[in-house]
């Protein structure tokens, strides 16, 4: 094992079994997420999973891995279920990040949702990439777990999935007006309208938070720009967003699909090849 400073730490928060609908299925998804990470062609990474209870499978017995057990969730009276879920997630990410810094002092940090999958090429690419302030995953895949043979490609992965940002460690704790309604901030009417109509800019009246500890990944370019740094792009499809299931704390977002949207989905559909299965440990 190479003992040099790890290039990246993957932080995975997982909700309590008291919140998810099917804990065993959640654990199955988490195990697959970990398998995709440990399938990496480059070993210069670490992983911290933060949760309330240990999952019901044997965790990796590996010096690159740490499971962090937290006794309490972070909730505030009056929070919606969505905001409560985000607060809980950020509490776990904060604890995992503190643990990762003290144990390994990684060069980069990446938040990964417990049901997403990561390319086996990502760590190797990052290990040879320039030391940019951060990278966003623009290209990726959308996959329904009951779809054995097809998957959808997207060039807007960072707009739909939180597993999309790689942040340089020296910037992760920098602060700015990064907290929005998903983080529990209350906006006035004017800011509420701006938030609803502008999906990419910083919002007037946003709460102060760190670059790492917010759930507004679609505004990442604006957040990095506020700190005076550009955000680079990972040049290949580096992650899979598992969609179409409701086994999470806040439920699945539903919307009406127009004919144009359905045609676009068909256009983006690809056959799952053997190499894609191997790259992401798709099962």
The Cα–Cα gap between 241 and 59 comes to 22
CATH number of 8-280: 3.90.550
- What tens digit of pLDDT does each residue of 231-244 get? 999 999 999 999 98
pLDDT given at position 267:
76
Give me the chain's average pLDDT, please: 91
pLDDT (tens digit, 9 = 90+) per residue, 105-139? 999 999 999 999 999 999 999 999 999 999 999 99
Q: Indicate the pLDDT class of residue 249, thresholds 50, 70 and 90.
A: very low
The DSSP result for 188-252, as a single string, is: -HHHHHHHHH-SSSPPTTPEEEESSS-S-GGGHHHHHHHTT---EEESS--EEEE-S---SSS--
Q: What is the pLDDT of residue 251?
A: 41
Predicted confidence (pLDDT) at residue 69 exceeds the cutoff of 90: yes
β-strands 134-137, 232-234 pairing: parallel
Q: Indicate the DSSP class of residue 267.
A: H
Per-residue pLDDT reduced to its tens digit, 5-34: 999 999 999 998 888 889 999 999 999 999
What SS3 class is residue 160?
A: helix
Residue with tokens 């891995």: 65
Residue 1: pLDDT band with limits 50, 70, 90? very low
117 closest CA partner among 136, 93, 96, 143: 143
Residue 74 banded pLDDT, cuts 50, 70, 90: low
- Lowest mean pLDDT: which of 47-51, 84-88, 215-219, 220-224? 84-88
What are 232's strand-pairing partners? Answer: 135
The answer, yes or no, to whether residue 152 has pLDDT greater than 60, is: yes
Per-residue pLDDT, 166: 98
pTM attached to this predicted model: 0.91
Q: What's the confidence (pLDDT) of residue 263?
A: 63
To the nearest whole percent, how much of the chain has pLDDT over 90? Answer: 80
């Amino acid at each position: 094992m190479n003992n040099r400073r790890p290039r990246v730490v993957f932080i995975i928060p997982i909700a309590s079994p008291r919140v998810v609908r099917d804990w065993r299925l959640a654990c199955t998804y988490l195990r697959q997420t970990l398998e995709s990470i440990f399938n990496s062609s480059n070993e210069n990474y670490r992983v911290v999973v933060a949760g309330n209870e240990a999952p019901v499978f044997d965790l990796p017995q590996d010096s690159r891995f740490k499971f962090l057990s937290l006794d309490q969730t972070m909730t505030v009276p009056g929070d919606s279920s969505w905001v409560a879920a985000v607060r809980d997630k950020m509490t776990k990410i904060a604890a995992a990040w503190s643990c990762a810094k003290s144990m390994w002092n990684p060069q980069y940090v990446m938040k990964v949702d417990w049901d997403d999958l990561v390319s086996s090429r990502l760590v190797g690419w990052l290990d040879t990439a320039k030391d940019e302030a951060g990278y966003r995953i623009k290209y990726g895949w959308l996959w329904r777990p009951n779809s054995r043979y097809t998957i959808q490609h997207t060039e807007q992965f960072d707009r739909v999935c939180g597993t999309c940002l790689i942040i340089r460690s020296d910037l992760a704790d920098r602060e700015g007006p990064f907290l929005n309604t998903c983080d529990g901030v209350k906006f006035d009417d004017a800011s509420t309208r701006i938030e609803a109509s502008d999906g990419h800019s910083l919002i007037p009246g946003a709460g102060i938070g760190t670059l790492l500890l917010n759930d507004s990944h679609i505004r990442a370019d604006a957040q990095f720009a506020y700190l005076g740094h550009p955000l680079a792009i990972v040049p290949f499809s580096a992650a899979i967003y598992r969609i179409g299931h409701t086994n999470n704390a806040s439920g699945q977002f539903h919307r009406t699909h127009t004919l144009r949207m359905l045609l676009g989905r068909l256009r983006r559909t690809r056959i799952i090849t053997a190499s894609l299965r191997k790259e992401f440990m798709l099962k």
